[in-house]
Copies of this chain bind each other. A is one copy, B any other.
Amino acid sequence: MRANRIRQLWAAGQPVLNGWLSFACPFTAEVMAAQGYDSLTIDMQHGMVDFMTSLGMMQAMSASGVVPMARVAWLDPVEIMRILDAGAYGIICPMIETREDAERLVSYVRYPPTGVRSFGPSRAVFSAGADYGERADEEVLCFAMIETRKGFDNMEEIASTPGLDGLYIGPADLALALTGRTYRTGFDRTEPQLIDAIVKIREAAHAAGIRAALHCGSASYAAQATGWKFDLLTVSNDVRLLAAAARTSVEEFRKTAKI
């Protein structure tokens, strides 16, 4: 089985740069996979994608060596097991709120006797390797998202779940959850209350001996978060990157065109 390069980077003391895919387009994924990310995560929760398009996207990324992951839509064994069968090397699961949630998550990602994952890695034996069944439990990553009040309150118990690889912070939902609608929605929080919460989650992860990941809206914020000792930083997504680049281009033309 092809090794998970995220684990290799971590072993080498490197933070991981993760991209985010929300367009249902294998060619978009292939283009993104050529830009230097360590890993790319397909957003099956808020992205405009589904299983079949995700499969095509993972196929299109396969040659690049970028690690393919999926942010699934929910703590749902079906979706988690299927995207793993399709070759995902990591699962980021939203809305984990309790130790029991986290244990169920781990159980869906690992084969018996560790977990309850059903055996049938249809594509993974081709894309990851013929020995996938033996090696998958060691290579596949499993992140629990902390982004609700309840999840925040239970972060230590969640972090100590055997088999969990990391906590992943969703700042948009976390801000809504911790502060109601006090602040605008979005990533790259600068409010002290939220920075404090983010750092606390990072500390809980590290205290439990697992990794901490942060969803960011910009490279500069993500770079700053490497200073906070995060192990994996997600920077923007394809929709925002394209929209911003196109808008900038349009505005530059509008300003400078000679009419």
Shortest distance from the beta carbon of A147 to any chain B beta carbon, whole Å: 8
A218-243 interface (Cβ within 8 A of B): 218-220, 222-223, 226-227, 233, 235-236, 238-239, 241-243
Chain copies in the assembled complex: 6
Do B73 and A78 touch across chains, with their CB atoms under 8 A apart? Answer: yes
Complex contacts, A19 vs chain B, CB 8 Å: 246, 250
Complex Cα gap A79–B50 (Å): 11
A60-84 interface (Cβ within 8 A of B): 60, 62-63, 73-74, 76-79, 81-82
Contact with A45, one of B22, B35, B118 (Cβ below 8 angstroms) = B118
A residues with a Cβ closer than 8 A to B are 13-15, 17, 19, 22-28, 30-32, 34-37, 43, 45-53, 55-56, 59-60, 62-63, 73-74, 76-79, 81-82, 85-86, 94-95, 111-113, 116, 118-123, 126-127, 133, 147-148, 172-173, 176-177, 180-181, 185, 218-220, 222-223, 226-227, 233, 235-236, 238-239, 241-247, 249-259
Contact with A246, one of B49, B241, B243 (Cβ below 8 angstroms) = B241
Quick one: given A172-B120, A220-B256, A245-B244, are A50 and B51 in contact (CB under 8 Å)? Answer: yes
Shortest distance from the beta carbon of A92 to any chain B beta carbon, whole Å: 13
Do B250 and A241 touch across chains, with their CB atoms under 8 A apart? Answer: no
Complex Cα gap A81–B47 (Å): 11
Do B30 and A127 touch across chains, with their CB atoms under 8 A apart? Answer: yes
